[in-house]
Amino acid sequence: MIEAKRDGKNLSREEIEFIVRAAATGEGMDREQLAAWLMTVVWRGLSIEETVDLTRAMAHSGTVLSLEGVPKPWIDKHSTGGVGDKTTLILLPILAAAGLSCVKMSGRGLGKTGGTIDKLESIPGFRTTLSIEEMKHQAVQIGIALGGQSKDLAPADGVLYALRDVTGTVPSIPLIASSVLSKKIAGGAEIIGIDLKCGSGAFMESYEDARKLGQTMLEVGTALGLRLSIEITDMDQPLGRMAGNLAEVQEAIQVLQGTESGRLTELCLTLASSMLELAGRDGNLAEQVLYDGSALKKFTIWLKTQGATADINQLVKMPLADHVEELLAPLPGWIESVNAGMVGEAVVDLGGGRRRKDQPIDPRVAVETLVTVGQQVEAGQPMFRIFASDQQSLTQAKASLDRAVTISNQMVNPTPLVLERMGE
């Protein structure tokens, strides 16, 4: 099978099931062979049929959740990951306040992109280890349950993803599509909103690749009975002001309080209304529940139900790390780019993200981005505010941020946030 794929041949459903079984059980192929096969896929690709077979086999390599008993429609969202991406914290309360049931498994951050579980763990008392039964019970009670990725769900993906992470085989469209969709199928949802990030702070840096991934997900997801809405969105600059775990929770609360009105709010409303429409509801409900306070109320109930010991007023006042410094614009002009990847790297430098899977993180460090693309700035105007726990990491983060912004002497048009909507 390694040789067949190396030579550009297609594999049968049985062959792909054999490979997935080997990943899940350790029998039939060893790790070296699995890694070699992954590299042949990076080079040769998979047909849509092979990708469907791979996704189905990975989804069924462990437990497939049944959400029977939870009111329909069952909804889930996925972001391909980005810097400052706290949309889940805002989107789930909006969707639940609009009457949908969201049962979601989220991951931790790795590298420059953050993870929802790390963000939620910056809330004192918040429990992210819920059993499946607890998640279902909570979804019935309040419409939202969010826990860490269970090892029983799509275990073959867990093994293959870990191998990909260390063998340079992450960037493959069929491998990413099958990895994401298999976990969604195993999680039991029927309607999935996908926020497909594109730009320097994302897996897919080019628009062309993002479109190809979107098209593959759509074809594979539809073949396997999912209903998908996919938005390709800009990740060339950080999403919202804050990157850092506690700071992002605080910013999410401000959006839910209706006091933020930038690109983050726009993105959450766009994603929410697409998902509501896909579920047969009025897309305008998203704006309604955000601005009449019901989404904030849902968020408050959600925190309490999952064990938070601080309420939202206490959370927004919790101090960030106390070595604070601003980085100033060296010259006047228009902001041409803010490299999201470099902002993400700076957060990792500060200890707010991981370079290795088992690394602890510091929830109170953050980078606040004070400028957006297209904005006019004066020389000496603050562009970033850094919140560090010590001087050494502050110096390191400053070095990462130093080259993150380019300033033009001519007017720059802001980049659109939503580049394309795909799907139903």
List residues near ligand URA by CB under 6 A.
80, 161, 170, 175-176, 179-180, 203
If the CB atoms of residues 76 and 251 are measured against ligand URA, the closer one turns out to be: 76
Residue 174: asked if its preceding bond is cis (omega within 30°), the reply is no
* Least distance CB 105 / ligand URA (angstroms): 11
If the CB atoms of residues 187 and 333 are measured against ligand URA, the closer one turns out to be: 187
If the CB atoms of residues 45 and 293 are measured against ligand URA, the closer one turns out to be: 45
Q: How many Å apart are CA 97 and CA 33, to the nearest integer?
A: 48
* Least distance CB 367 / ligand URA (angstroms): 23
Exposure on the CB side of residue 57, measured as CA atoms within 13 A: 23
Q: Which two tokens stand for residue 53?
A: 């077979």
Q: Quick check: helix, strand or coil at residue 59?
A: helix
Give the active site residues.
78, 157, 164, 179, 183
If the CB atoms of residues 118 and 260 are measured against ligand URA, the closer one turns out to be: 118
Q: What is the DSSP letter of 113?
A: B
Q: Which two tokens stand for residue 252?
A: 């999410």
Residue 418, amino acid: V
* Least distance CB 81 / ligand URA (angstroms): 6
If the CB atoms of residues 126 and 161 are measured against ligand URA, the closer one turns out to be: 161
| Alpha-helical segments (H) within 98-206 | 116-120, 132-142, 155-167, 173-186
Q: Are 220 and 50 within 8 A, CB to CB?
A: no
- Phi and psi (nearest 5°) for 41? -70, -40
Q: What is the DSSP letter of 357?
A: T
Q: Are 44 and 10 within 8 A, CB to CB?
A: no
Q: How many Å apart are CA 36 and CA 129, to the nearest integer?
A: 34
Q: What is the DSSP letter of 403?
A: T
* Least distance CB 107 / ligand URA (angstroms): 7
* Least distance CB 273 / ligand URA (angstroms): 24
* Least distance CB 111 / ligand URA (angstroms): 11
Q: How many Å apart are CA 272 and CA 92, to the nearest integer?
A: 9
Q: Report the chain's C-alpha Rg in angstroms.
A: 21
Q: Which residues pair with 384 in a beta bridge?
A: 327, 369
If the CB atoms of residues 57 and 180 are measured against ligand URA, the closer one turns out to be: 180
Three-point CA angle 333, 335, 337, nearest 5°: 145
Residue nearest to ligand URA (CB): 179
